[in-house]
Structure 1
Amino acid sequence: MLICRGRRASNCYISSGVASLLTRTHASARREAAGSDSDKRPNLRAIDLALKIRLEKEKEKATVGGSKKGVPNSSVPLSPLQKRVTELRQFTQQLQNVHPNVLAKHLQRGLIYPHPELAVINKPYGIYVQDGSKANNSISDVLPIISKMIDGMKAESQLHICLGLDKETTGTLLLARTKEALDCVQSLHRNHQVQRKYWVVTVGVPVPSEGVIDIPIIEREVTGAQPHYKMGLSPVYRVSNGGEGVTKVRANRHAQGAVTQYRVLDSSNGCSLVELQPITGVKHQLRVHMAYGLGCAILGDHKYSHWIKLAPQKLPDGVLRKLGLEQSKARHLPLHLHARQLTLPEFKGQRDITVSCPLPKFFTSTLRRLQIPIPDKKDDDK
C-alpha cells in the first residue's frame, strides 16, 4: 500500500495492484516514445540535461585535441608554408602588448656589455625605443625597472638612451648609466665620431659591390589613392640632356645631407647581405639609400619598396620559393635591418669600445634559406 501526502494533510490510498499497473504503463510509454518519430517525447530531467551538455563539451574538447581557443589543432599537420607564415607572425608580434615587467625582464636578459657607465641591449624586433603608443610599451617606459634589476634597489640608479633605433630595427641599443656618460656619447655622435655598422638583406645585388652613397634626403608627400608622406631622394646632380654627363642643380633648402658607406658581404639567389655604415643620421636614411639610391630595397621594407602606393613588398618568384612564401603572405616579412656593431672611439680618454650584437633568429633563418653564408668574425671586424 502506497500513501501519498498532499495538501491539508489529506491522504491518498493506492492499492498495490493499481501501483503495479501504473508502473508497467509508464515503462511501456517510455519504450514507445523511444522508438517513435512523433513529437511526444518525455521531458528531460535537469540532471539528464546537465549530463548531456557535459558529454558534448568533452567530445568537442577531444575533437580539437584539447587545444585552447584560437590555437590550431596540434593533431592537424601544417604545410611548410603555413609554418613559415606562423613563424613570421610571431616575429612581428614579439613582446608587444605584454606587461612592463615581462618586457623589462626580457631586455635585461639581452644585456651584452658589462661596463660601469654604459650598457648595451640587444634590441628585439617590433618594440618602440621611445614614445610608444598607449597600447604598447616602449623601452624607455621600462628603463627604471631594468635599472633596478641591474643595480638593485639603489635610489640613484638610472638608465638613459644614448642612440635610438627604429621600431623595426634590431641590434645594439646603447644606454648610459650616468648623466656624464650620456653627455659624452652624445657629444661624440654630434661630431660623427660614433661608428655604427648595420647588416641588411637586400632584394637584388648592389652594383658596384662597394661604394659611398651621397644623396640628400627630403620628406615628400605622395599623392594618389592613398596620400601619405615618406622620405625620398633630393639629388643635387642631374643627368644631362645628352646623357653624357651630369649637371649640378640647386639643392632644396628642406633637404638634409645624407651619406652612407656600403659593402656587399655576400650574395645568392638574387639577394645580398650588405654592410651599411651611415656617416650622417637622417630619418630612414639607410632604407631610402638602398631602395632609391641603389635600387635594392631591404627585405621586408614594405614602405620604401614602392613610391606611389602603400602595399606589401613585391618579391621575385625565385626569392619567394627560397623563403617558402607566397606573395599574398609577404606582408608578414619583418624588416631585415640589424644594428650589428657600435664603436665609441677613446671613450672618456680610455681605449675604443666596440660592441657587436648577434643576429636575430628570423635574420639567420632568412640567410639560411637564401643560402647566403654568414661572414666570419674576422671579416665582420674589417
Structure 2
Amino acid sequence: MNSYRTVTLACNNDVIRTCKVVIRSGKTGSICHISRGVASLLTRAHASVPRREEPPPVSDSDKRPNLRAIDLARKIRQEKQKGHATGGGSDAAVLNPSVPVSQLQKRVIELRQFTQQLQNVHPNVLAKHLHRGLILPHPELAVVNKPYGVSVQDGSSNKNNISDVLPILAKMMDGIRAGSQLHVCLGLDKEATGTLLLARTEEALDHVQNLHKNHQVERKYWVVAVGVPVPSEGVIDIPVIERKVTGAQPHFKMGLSPVYRVSDGGEGVTKVRANRQAQGAVTQYRVLDSSNGCSLVELQPITGVKHQLRVHMAYALGSPILGDHKYSHWTKLAPQKLPDGVLRRLGLEQSKARYLPLHLHARQLTLPEFKGQSDITVSCPLPKYFTSTLRRLQIPIPDE
C-alpha cells in the first residue's frame, strides 16, 4: 500500500517548496519516487552547495606505462615475428618455443636469420663485418672471409652485395686517405664461403686476372659430399653447358656436355661432336675423409666455369654437395633428397632438408711470386655450420 508524506525542501536554510512524496513499501526497504519537478529542484539546490574538489578522472592513456624507443622497437619486432610464424611466412625464420626442434635446425634457422640481416642491413654494417673478416693485409691485395648468402656482385635493388660496399671497406682499411679503392679479383657464388680476393689497385687487378687466365692461381675448396666419390682422387675433364630443363617448372641449369659416350654394346666409348656452346671444365678432386655415407672432399678447379664444381660433383661423380638443392635433381626444382642414415646423423627430417645451406667453402688461395715476392698462400677457417655438420657426421677435420 502506498503512503504519502509531505517533505519540505530547503537550500541554504531557506525554505523553497513543500512537495508531496510517494513512498512505496518493498520487501527489502522503502524506495522513494520523486516527481520530475522535485528532481530538478534538488539538482539546482545541490549544485549551489559548495562541493569538495575531486581529482580529475584518469584516462586510459595516462594508465599506460611510459615506453622507451627501444621498448617500442622490440615490441614491433616481436609482433612481426609472430606474424611470420602464423601468417604463412617461412617457418625457419622464427623459433617457436612450443615446437621442439633439433640443434641442427636451430643452427640453420640462426644462419638464415644472420644471412637475411647481412642482406638487408645498412651497407656500413656489412662493411664492418667484412673488415672483421680481413685475412691478408697487403699493400696491393686483400683477402676477406666471405659470409654465407651474400652476393659478390649484381645484387638486387633491395639486397646488399659486396661490390657496393667496397668503397666503405676501403676507407675502413686506409682511413680517410684519398684514392682508396678495392676491386673484386676472383668471385664466389652467393652460397659459397671463404677466401675472397680483392685488389687495392687496378694494376694488381690486371696482374691477378692474367694469372688466373693462365691457370696460375691455385684455389682449393672443401665440400661435404653426399656419398663417397670413387676413385678417391682423380681429374674430371668434362665440358659444361647451360641447358633448359622442361617440365612443370621450366628452368635453366648448367649440365655436362661430354665428348664421349658409351657405345651401344657397352664395350667401349664413342667420340661425339662437341657442342659449340659448351665450355671446357677441368676439376681435380681428392677425398680427405669419409664417414656415415658422406665425405669431405677437396676440389681444385683448373678452369673457372659457372657452377663447375657443383655440376662435376653431382653429375660426374654422383656425389652432390650437401645443401645443393639445385643440382641434386636434374628434371625438377626440389629440396635435396638425403639418405635416411644421413638424416638421422644430422638430426633432421626430410621435410626440413631444404634449410640445409650449401657446404661449399673456399679453403685456400695461392698466388705465385706476386710482383717479385714469394708465393702468397692464404687459408680461411671453416664456418660454424660447416664444422658442426662434420662433427655430426663424425668426419674429422684435417690438420692443415
TM-score range, shorter chain: 0.7 to 0.9
- Please state if 1:246 is matched with 2:278: no
- Please state if 1:193 is matched with 2:220: no
1:307 partner letter: W
Q: What is the CA distance between 1:85 and its match in structure 2? A: 4.7
Deviations 1:129-165 (A, max 9, x none): 1111101111110001000001011111111111111
Structural mapping, 1:169-318, within 5 Å = 169-318=192-341
Counterpart residue number, 2:344: 321
Of residues 126, 132, 144, the one that matches 1:103 is 126
Distance 1:88 1:151, change over 3 A: closer
Gap regions ≥5 residues in structure 2? 1-9, 13-42, 83-93
- Please state if 1:353 is matched with 2:376: yes
Contact 1:84 1:324 in 2 (8 A): no
Distance 1:258 1:85, change over 3 A: closer
1:155 partner letter: A
Contact 1:85 1:325 in 2 (8 A): no
SS of residue in 1 equivalent to 2:142: strand
Deviations 1:268-290 (A, max 9, x none): 11111000000011100000000
Of residues 72, 97, 100, the one that matches 1:79 is 100
- Number of aligned positions between the proteins: 337
Query: How far apart in 2 are the matches of 1:273 and 1:322?
Result: 15
SS of residue in 2 equivalent to 1:302: coil
- Please state if 1:68 is matched with 2:78: yes
Distance 1:50 1:347, change over 3 A: closer
- Please state if 1:121 is matched with 2:144: yes
Distance 1:237 1:69, change over 3 A: same
Counterpart residue number, 1:368: 391
Q: What is the CA distance between 1:349 and its match in structure 2? A: 2.1
Counterpart residue number, 2:44: 12
Query: How far apart in 1 are the matches of 2:61 and 2:201?
Result: 65
Query: How far apart in 2 are the matches of 1:269 and 1:220?
Result: 34
- Please state if 1:163 is matched with 2:170: no
2:171 partner letter: K
Contact 2:247 2:331 in 1 (8 A): yes
Query: How far apart in 2 are the matches of 1:119 and 1:188?
Result: 16
Q: What is the CA distance between 1:92 and its match in structure 2? A: 4.5
Distance 1:88 1:79, change over 3 A: farther
Deviations 1:318-359 (A, max 9, x none): 111111211111111111000000000111122111001000
Contact 2:119 2:160 in 1 (8 A): yes
Distance 1:157 1:66, change over 3 A: closer
More strand by share: 2
Gap regions ≥5 residues in structure 1? 4-10, 20-44, 378-382
Instruction: Identify which range, 83-92 or 170-179, moves more after superposition.
Output: 83-92
Which contiguous aligned blocks of 4+ residues in structure 1 show a shift greater than 2 angstroms? 45-51, 65-94
1:12 partner letter: R
Counterpart residue number, 2:38: none
Which structure is higher in RCO with an 8 Å CA cutoff and minimum separation 6? Answer: 1
TM-score by length of 2: 0.78
Query: How far apart in 2 are the matches of 1:287 and 1:106?
Result: 27
The sequence identity of aligned pairs, in percent, is 78
Deviations 1:82-112 (A, max 9, x none): 5345334335535111100000000011100
- Could you say what the CA RMSD is over the residues aligned between the two structures, in angstroms? 2.9
